[in-house]
């Protein structure tokens, strides 16, 4: 099932994003968490790449397991990192053979210590280029892209960032999943900016429970999200965010799981109308 079809169900979508395990024990934990969260009947789930695309082959293995062993709809991440056009073509063929229908197309982050993103020879510098390439090569894939409620760290202004998001939509992206945020006002303002820019696709807010403050600080340094001064460890803050977002009628909720089932289970048991 394509993600765009899930929006037609008449209720908010639910989705999870898992992080790539680095060991066999962590991989075992990943599958345990997927099995635990399956009971909430998510519309789709995904597993991110590791740094510099280092887990790409394993990510495709996990995507295949998610679809065929756990019966969940996977969204495969594809990035511009360390991939030529030929590499992307081969990856599209592989995903198509698996029966995967959904892709989240991203530029990807430069390696730690590198000032800016440097594409490989015959690769892509921007996510919109990757999106356009996929649409031309394999138009049957349903494509999503990333949005930044507080603006991408590399964008010169919020207006420029929104204009670029519109370019990704025009290139073929059919929905947006936002980067994490801890103050819903950033999301509300983002949606207004997108509306004024002519962006009409669903914009799914991305939420992350605070289970490790040091980890959150590291993630927000990369994505540019603001950490409120009174933010506390635990799921309570995210629970409050989710309740408010559902109340105003968001198209769905996307949870960055951090491969821990308990915080997400606690939130969904209390708020998600399923």
- Catalytically active residues, by annotation: 17
CA distance 136 to 5: 21
- The rounded distance, in Å, linking the Cα atoms of 209 and 182 is 9
Residue with tokens 């309570």: 236
CA distance 118 to 136: 24
Residues 6+ apart with CB under 8 A from 58: 20
d(CA 45, CA 254): 9
Look at phi and psi of residue 224 and say left if phi exceeds 0, alpha if psi is from -120 to 50, else beta: left
| In the block, residue with structure tokens 């597993």 | 47
- Of 104, 147, 143, which Cα lies nearest the Cα of 18? 104
DSSP 8-state secondary structure symbol assigned to residue 202: -
Task: Extract the tokens encoding 4.
Answer: 């765009």
Q: What phi, psi does 200 have (nearest 5°)?
A: -115, 0
- Tell me the torsion sign for CA atoms 124, 104, 194, 215: negative
Please give the helix or strand (H or E) that residue 14 lies within, else none: strand 13-18
């Amino acid at each position: 099932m394509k993600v765009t079809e899930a929006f037609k169900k008449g209720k908010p979508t639910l989705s999870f994003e898992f992080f790539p395990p680095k060991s066999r024990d962590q991989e075992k934990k990943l599958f345990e968490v997927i099995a635990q969260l399956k009971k909430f009947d998510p519309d789709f789930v995904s597993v991110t790449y590791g740094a510099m695309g280092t887990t790409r082959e394993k990510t495709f293995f996990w995507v295949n397991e998610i679809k065929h062993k756990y019966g969940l709809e996977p969204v495969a991440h594809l990035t511009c990192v360390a991939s030529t056009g030929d590499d992307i073509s081969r990856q599209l063929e592989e995903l198509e053979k698996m029966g995967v229908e959904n892709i989240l197309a991203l530029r990807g982050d430069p390696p730690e210590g590198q000032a800016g993103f440097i594409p490989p020879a015959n690769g892509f510098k921007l996510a919109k280029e990757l999106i356009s390439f996929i649409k031309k090569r394999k138009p049957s894939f349903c494509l999503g892209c990333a949005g930044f409620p507080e603006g991408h760290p590399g964008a010169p202004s919020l207006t420029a960032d929104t204009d670029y998001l519109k370019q990704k939509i025009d290139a073929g992206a059919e929905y947006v999943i936002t980067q994490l945020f801890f103050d819903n006002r950033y999301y509300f303002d983002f949606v207004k900016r997108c509306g004024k820019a002519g962006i009409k696709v669903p914009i799914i807010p991305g939420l992350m429970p605070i289970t490790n403050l040091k980890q959150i600080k590291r993630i927000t340094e990369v994505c540019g999200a603001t950490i409120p001064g009174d933010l506390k460890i635990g799921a309570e803050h995210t629970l409050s965010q989710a309740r408010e977002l559902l109340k105003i009628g968001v198209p769905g909720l996307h949870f960055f799981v951090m491969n821990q089932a308990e915080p997400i289970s606690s939130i969904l048991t209390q708020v998600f109308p399923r």
